[in-house]
Amino acid sequence: MLGPYATEEAVAAYNHEHGTDRPAVVQYVDWLRGIVRGDLGNSLAPPEPPVWDVIEPALVNSMKLAVFAFLIVVPFGILGGVFAGLRVGRPTDRGITVVGLSLAVVPEFVTGLVLILVFSIWLGWLPVTAQWEPGAGALTQVRHLALPAMALAIVLFGYIARITRAGVVEALDADYTRTAYLKGLPRNTVISRHVLRNALMPTIAVIATQVGYLVGGLVAIEYLFNYQGLGLMVLQAAQQKDFTLLTAGVLVVGVVYLVVTLIADIAFALLNPRIRFQAAE
């Protein structure tokens, strides 16, 4: 905080002032008390603003990026998966599966770099950094977010497509699908009424768990694109040993994760009568 050349006295004074010379347990209890009161404390970095003031804009930025990435990846992932699942074993299926798998194993900063190279540097279509000028309009924001969101989406695509494909293949092989075909229903009806609904259930469950992964991916992407989101903020807080900011940031990430998982669980239950009725009975 005070830089590598600070005197010992200055460090001691700083520590005393901020309470960091007290036993760790005491500090922790103190911190918990604050949380309960809705007070996340102040950042340790000058000018020591309230932590929430730092987190809020970062959170909003990250949400924009994450939502954007999800809006791209969920429809494409599901479409790709359904497409592959319905043509299992054929070239379309192999193609989608191989592409998805290969994209998923490339680390996101590599994907990000390639995207920057292609779209910003060679083609010059999109800006290199994600951060827009303050007060920029929605369209500009979208242009700035396009590359990082794509980078995130590409990594997740393979995952979602694979789960969807597995769900579709399983539903296609299920006895109830056979029942539907043997009733003489046309293929389209069988797929839309009997196969898809059951096939998408595991996908929804998986999308929820991917939120955690997305947060991890955010750190790399936000760093690469120099985007002031939660990931970059947590990273910087860790580098500067700004513990109040760091713990608060991690806490917020945890809460977001819980909320999203809860939403996904509810969606899952609404689709699945077995769970819906267990709750009602």
Partner 1 sequence: MSSTEPGATALHVADLDVSYRVRGKDRQVLRGVTLEVARGESYGLVGESGCGKSTAALAIVRYLPRNGAVSAGSISVAGRDVLDLRGQKLREYRARTVSMVYQNPGAALNPSIRVGSQVAEAFTVLGVPGGDATDRARDALDRVQIADPGSVMRRYPHQLSGGMQQRALIAMALAKNPELLILDEPTTGLDATVEAEVLDLVSQLQAELHTSVLFISHNLGVISKMCSRVGVLYAGRLVEEGPVGTILRDPRHPYTVGLLRCIPRGGVRKDHGRLDTIPGFLPSLGAEITGCVFADRCALADDRCRAEEPRLDKITPVHASRCWHHDRAATLPRAEIADLELPAVDRAGAPLVELAQLSKVFKQRGHEVHALTEVSAAIWPGETLGLVGESGSGKTTLARTLLGIVPPTAGTALLEGGELPTRYQKRSREELRALQIVFQNPDSALNRRHSVRRILLRSLKKLAGVGGSVAETRMHDLVERVRLTERTLTQKPVQLSGGLKQRVAIARAFAGDPKLVVCDEPTSALDVSVQAAILNLLVELQAEKRVAYLFISHDLGVVRYISDRIAVLYLGRLQELGPADVVFEGPHHPYTEALLSAVPTVDGGGRDRIRLDGDIPSAASPPSGCVFHTRCPRKLGAVCEETEPPLVEVEAGHHMRCHIPLEELRRLQRAESQPMAPTA
Residues that bind partner 1 (CB under 8 A): 89, 174-176, 178-186, 193-194, 197-198, 271-274, 277, 281
- 13 versus 267: smaller Cβ distance to partner 1: 267
**Chain position carrying tokens 């990273």:** 235
Shortest distance (Å) from residue 184 CB to partner 1: 3
Shortest distance (Å) from residue 163 CB to partner 1: 18
User: Interior CA angle at 212 toward 142 and 200, to 5°?
Assistant: 85
Shortest distance (Å) from residue 260 CB to partner 1: 24
Residue 52 neighbours by CB distance under 10 Å? 16
- 64 versus 194: smaller Cβ distance to partner 1: 194
Instruction: Estimate the crossing angle of helix 138-173 against helix 175-182, to 10 degrees.
Output: 80
237 vs 16, 30, 63, 122, 242, CA distance in Å?
20, 20, 19, 34, 5
- 76 versus 83: smaller Cβ distance to partner 1: 83
Q: For every residue of 130-169, which 3-state class applies, written as one string?
A: CCCCCCCCHHHHHHHHHHHHHHHHHHHHHHHHHHHHHHHH
- 179 versus 226: smaller Cβ distance to partner 1: 179
Shortest distance (Å) from residue 211 CB to partner 1: 25
Shortest distance (Å) from residue 97 CB to partner 1: 17
- 169 versus 237: smaller Cβ distance to partner 1: 169
